[in-house]
Amino acid sequence: MTTSPRPEALPETIHHWIGGERVPSADGRTFDVLDPVSNQPYAQAARGSADDIARAVTAAKNAFGVWSAYDNRRRAQVLNKIADAIEARHDRLARFESFDSGLPITQARGQARRAAENFRYFADVIVGLGEEAFRQGTEQISYVVRTPVGVAGLITPWNTPFMLESWKLAPALASGCTLVLKPAEWTPLSASLWTEIFAEAGLPAGAANIVHGIGEEAGQALVDHPDVPLLSFTGSTDTGRHILRSSAPDLKTVSMELGGKSPAVVFADADLDAALDSIVFGVFSLNGERCTAGSRVLVERGVYDDFTTRLAERAAHVRVGDPADPDTQVGALVHPEHYDRVMNYVKIGREEGRLLAGGARPDHLDRGNYLQPTVFADVSRDARIFQEEIFGPVVAVAPFDTEDEAVELANATPFGLAAYIWTSDLKRGHRLAHAVESGMVWINSHNVRDLRTPFGGVKASGVGREGGAHSIDFYSDSKIVHVALGDVHVPRFGAAR
Ligand code: NAD
């Protein structure tokens, strides 16, 4: 059987982290955690229920007074210590992430670095944060007081789990909220490291709590808990819709980072070599399990045949293999259920498009959730593989003739997360960037995000933004205080003339 080397110090049981302690579920239940190479259970994780969520919310409520009273600089010191503790575990973290999720080890290393940077960034943000004041001449001054919302409920997916958890943990803690995190059930391993990271950094007990478990059980209980006024969710559009509906009766504040089917638009005048490198990496890195993957490639007719052939050649040569091998470019898809789903799309794609590369497990890998990067050409806009998020190393390619048609095709799905535009005509690049319906656009550039910029999508890709000041706004309530500076002239209703 194909196996990946087990990282050292792999826990046999992954516990919840409630009130600063590792604890089992109240009812003692657990669930199997598989690695995606052997698809065999290698650990048990605590299976949280409504009781465990209630315990965690109580711990977070109890810690709120302490943590929210830290001034910004003191909170920033703890955030920087969290970043130090992440960096100190950088290697173990990357090995855990790669083993549990199937991400190639070299790409898992980047995720760990980015998570640490994110904590440092939010430490800087709150030290520099001011509150606004508005003066109306000599009559009145109004100023804003920012307060943390309370206990935040954070729900995260299995793709790049540790890094995506950091995207929510860092701004929630920076803002002074306490929190309960429900990590994805397919990839709980790296989240087990937060417990020692938080303890080492001196985060007060109960400020951050982690409850593992199944979405419909632990996740739903967190969504439904009346003392959790705010939910930050990253995951699929269907689950996002469900959570929005569930949280409507309590009018909770929600942020939704959802699915994508992002277009990469290539004009004939582009630097085609650079476009090819970026497109191949953008859709196949992270095993294609990337919300911002450019999974629809739209190519101007004049260069369509040539570009598509080159794309297919590159896909056929991508090195698929053991996630722990530093030469691996695409590892194993996260879970057998997800693998079946992706393989079903490949089957559908064989009827909807022209298969130019991949479409099957590589010959040298007899077990594990492996798929050779797959390219379908001549895909029509109503095809399912053009419309639906596959979330694996599969790309749909289609030609266009005019700029208008490129925009129309780019916008022809329910999603609107990211878009990539390749042209040497910068006026056209900007025109397209403004016309494409998406939260983020990269022109002649790669999917690199400055942490200060807003991240998120439109249409079925999300509600709200994460990143930078947007995150601090989300986790804070602003109150405006109006104060008279001089005599107040109020109309004297009912007074004698
Ligand atoms: P998912 O929706 O199945 O699960 C996400 C999380 O929600 C998991 O922790 C799960 O346990 C939980 N959950 C499921 N049902 C729930 C319920 N009823 N109540 C509360 N929680 C519940 O998504 P996934 O398959 O883990 O992740 C892949 C998806 O995430 C893709 O669609 C991808 O595009 C999206 N994603 C989006 C972004 C972004 O920033 N826009 C980033 C990464 C991933």
Q: What is the CATH number of the domain that holds 156?
A: 3.40.605.10
Indicate whether 65 and 88 sit together in one domain.
Answer: yes
- List CB contacts of 408: < 8 A, sequence separation 6 or more: none
Domain span holding position 248: 13-258+461-480
Q: Is 200 a catalytic residue?
A: no
491 part of a folded domain: no
Alpha carbon distance 36, 323 (integer Å): 9
The structure tokens listed for 199 are 């303890």
Count of structural domains within the chain = 2
> How do residues 123-156 score in pLDDT, each as one tens digit?
999 999 999 999 999 999 999 999 999 999 999 9
Contact between 354 and 382 (Cβ < 8 Å) = no
Contact between 298 and 336 (Cβ < 8 Å) = no
Residues of the chain with pLDDT under 50: 1
487 part of a folded domain: no
Alpha carbon distance 18, 122 (integer Å): 24
- Which residue CA neighbors atom 16 of ligand 1 most closely? 215
Residue 317 Cα distances to 212, 328, 343, 374, 397, angstroms: 38, 11, 20, 11, 18
Q: Is the CB of 349 under 6 A from ligand 1?
A: no
> How do residues 457-496 score in pLDDT, each as one tens digit?
999 999 999 988 889 999 999 999 999 999 888 999 999 9
- Please list the residues that pair with 297 across neighbouring strands: 264, 397
Which of 165, 239, 261 gets mutated to test ligand 1 (max ligand atoms within 8 A of its CB)?
239
Alpha carbon distance 268, 303 (integer Å): 6
Which of 236, 453, 459 gets mutated to test ligand 1 (max ligand atoms within 8 A of its CB)?
236
- Please list the residues that pair with 420 across neighbouring strands: 264, 442
| Residue 50, amino acid | A
- What's the CATH number where 408 sits? 3.40.309.10
Indicate whether 314 and 403 sit together in one domain.
Answer: yes
Residue 12 CB-density burial (10 A; 0-12 exposed, 13-18 middle, 19+ buried): exposed
> How do residues 235-277 score in pLDDT, each as one tens digit?
999 999 999 999 999 999 999 999 999 999 999 999 999 999 9
Pairing of strands 394-400, 374-377: parallel
Indicate whether 192 and 319 sit together in one domain.
Answer: no
148 part of a folded domain: yes
- Which residue CA neighbors atom 39 of ligand 1 most closely? 257
Cα(172) to centroid of ligand 1, in Å?
A: 19
Rg over CA atoms, the chain? 24
Determine the 3-state secondary structure of 107 from DSSP. Answer: helix
Q: Is the CB of 49 under 6 A from ligand 1?
A: no
Contact between 257 and 290 (Cβ < 8 Å) = no
Q: Which atom of ligand 1 is nearest to the CA of 239?
A: 2
Alpha carbon distance 466, 410 (integer Å): 24
| Residue 8 pLDDT | 87
| Residue 488 pLDDT | 84
Alpha carbon distance 165, 154 (integer Å): 8
What's the mean per-residue pLDDT of the chain? Answer: 97
